[in-house]
Chain A
């Protein structure tokens, strides 16, 4: 019976239905639709649930296995928490768009074929663009257009890959791909654009912080994690992903360390965390893939919590820069505690959800004798504590007294934060239910004495480094140039130079041809002007003389040809 209802389409439909609703009906649907989606995802049987055909190709719009259930579940939980947090949002577009976005993300995870996956993939781009756009600011509008362009580009690359794959194999099934043809490279490229991989990582910190205080919470969850999901399904064990993941991990840390905008710090740390997941996918063992999947699950929850905390600060103060904030722990204690729990979770502190998931990726590197990868992941774990674990709560809630005394946010926002904080701690302590949901059987115990001690050493001494080197981390009113510079600054400037060249060339060609035309006209004027030779009156006798000359010439010509 449950297989008749698609949880993704349910959320998309709820999003459309939300648009005209107001008041308590809107609030009720905002909470009931994701709750129903959660129940549905848990109740669905495994296997192919819907089949059909499109343009002569078989499609499987609805299929469930362990991996897709895990991601669909956390997306539905996210829609519920995000919906609760956004209940007080004044924008009438954001929540409907966010539900379409969340529903299509679930649609991607439940798609058994490439065509269905692609349709939901593009619908996600539309939903998420609307979420950014609904912030209603000029900067938000411009960022949403840049965001849309990058994602449409990614979509075109992905579509080209899918078309190539279907043309070569005749199959639309979403299976594991080998990097053996241009089509498969294109599919990987399309996936990596959404994952926030370099050189297209800049779209994420560019666009996400421009959404509203509640919009960024939704944005943090779906796009990059559906990319992780499709990479888990399509490219497990692809070694390239280890390198891409490591670059993302350190890119995220360095840029977040330099950043001043609190939500952009967290946006960079999304890239950093997705990097850990990509490393796991690239290692490709069962432990590594379990680790990547588990980390995606826990990451969605603690990152949402962090952005709820940052969103609450933005909601109450209207400020987003570390240089304007500080000392908020006095009047926003709940927001501070919840933000700190999120910060500890992202840092993989023992007894938080990040600890039980990220440890699996590191263990997989160790098991595979990838010592350099393991060392880099350990350094990155220290770096995560540095840039997100301490930096975010320190600069927002502590450091100096900014003089701001905002209260904690309204109860719906507080409840959403408490719910996600409870999940972060709950999954860190009672991790068995999460491990049971993972795609492969888990044979791993995160809490061994040696591991806990090693992790505590790593994190606490990172904390020491932070406070010892605090003067070097002083925030300034700056941004750090990223690859978006190429299309925000270099591209427009080049376009302007080319435009100027075209204008100059156009002027040259037109003036040149006009000059030639004028000279020609002048020449013609000299011969044909009303006072020139051909315009003069001629007497009849002269004309008769000329006719006689012509006739003579004709006769001469005639005799010459007769001979």
Chain B
């Protein structure tokens, strides 16, 4: 049976391309709507783009490290300890 159109490799390639265009256009548009009202770091070019990506990368890596310490099997409390 043909897989659902949304999960075909061709569709996924297309979605990635559209996503790349969307990403690029949010950065390009900033040339036209820039507002110098912010101060400090927030004033840097494409702040949302680099800061959003960077913040997420840091959060994911931090969560990963945190998980190494505190992750337990999901039946951890099932032994009737609680």
Residues of A within 8 A of B (CB): 142, 146, 250, 253-254, 257-258, 260-261, 321, 327, 329-330, 366, 369, 371, 374-375, 378-379, 382-383, 386, 401, 448-451, 453-466, 469, 472-473, 476-481, 487-489, 492-493
CB–CB A465/B57 < 8 A: yes
Question: What class of interface size applies to chain B in its complex with A?
Answer: 35 or more
Give B23 Cβ to nearest chain A Cβ, in Å.
5
CA distance A465 to B62 in the complex (A): 14
The answer, among A383, A448, A469, for a CB contact under 8 Å with B55, is: A383
Residue among B4, B30, B82 with the highest chain A CB neighbour number at 10 A = B82
With a cutoff of 8 Å between Cβ atoms, the chain A residues found around residue B22 in the complex are 460
Residue among A321, A383, A453, A469 with the highest chain B CB neighbour number at 10 A = A453
Residues of B within 8 A of A (CB): 4, 6-7, 19, 22-23, 26-27, 29-30, 32-35, 37-42, 46-53, 55-64, 66-67, 70-74, 76-77, 81-82
The answer, among A260, A321, A382, for a CB contact under 8 Å with B56, is: A382
CA distance A375 to B52 in the complex (A): 10
CB–CB A450/B33 < 8 A: yes
CB–CB A457/B46 < 8 A: yes
10 contacts between A and B (CB under 8 A): A258-B67, A379-B51, A379-B55, A401-B7, A457-B49, A459-B52, A463-B19, A464-B23, A465-B53, A469-B57
With a cutoff of 8 Å between Cβ atoms, the chain B residues found around residue A329 in the complex are 6
CB–CB B48/A454 < 8 A: yes
Give A178 Cβ to nearest chain B Cβ, in Å.
31
CA distance A480 to B66 in the complex (A): 9
Q: Interface of chain A, helix or strand or loop or mixed? A: helix
CA distance A9 to B51 in the complex (A): 48
CB–CB B55/A479 < 8 A: no
By Cβ-Cβ distance, the 4 closest A-B pairs, closest first, are A457-B48, A449-B33, A465-B56, A450-B35
CA distance A456 to B49 in the complex (A): 8
CA distance A459 to B26 in the complex (A): 10
Give A355 Cβ to nearest chain B Cβ, in Å.
14
Give A20 Cβ to nearest chain B Cβ, in Å.
35
CB–CB B6/A146 < 8 A: no
CA distance A449 to B37 in the complex (A): 13
Which residue of chain B is the closest to A146 with respect to CB atoms?
B82
With a cutoff of 8 Å between Cβ atoms, the chain A residues found around residue B19 in the complex are 460, 463-464
With a cutoff of 8 Å between Cβ atoms, the chain B residues found around residue A469 in the complex are 56-57, 60
CA distance A45 to B52 in the complex (A): 45
CB–CB A257/B74 < 8 A: no
CA distance A314 to B70 in the complex (A): 27
Give B4 Cβ to nearest chain A Cβ, in Å.
6
CB–CB B72/A462 < 8 A: no
With a cutoff of 8 Å between Cβ atoms, the chain B residues found around residue A454 in the complex are 30, 47-48
CB–CB B59/A254 < 8 A: yes
The answer, among B41, B46, B82, for a CB contact under 8 Å with A489, is: B82
With a cutoff of 8 Å between Cβ atoms, the chain B residues found around residue A480 in the complex are 66-67, 70-72
Give A91 Cβ to nearest chain B Cβ, in Å.
23
Give B50 Cβ to nearest chain A Cβ, in Å.
7
With a cutoff of 8 Å between Cβ atoms, the chain B residues found around residue A369 in the complex are 39
17 new A-B contacts, CB < 8 A, other than A257-B59, A449-B33, A458-B49, are A261-B74, A329-B6, A371-B40, A375-B42, A379-B55, A382-B59, A449-B32, A450-B37, A455-B48, A457-B30, A461-B56, A462-B52, A462-B53, A469-B56, A477-B74, A478-B72, A492-B81
CA distance A496 to B59 in the complex (A): 38
With a cutoff of 8 Å between Cβ atoms, the chain A residues found around residue B67 in the complex are 258, 478, 480
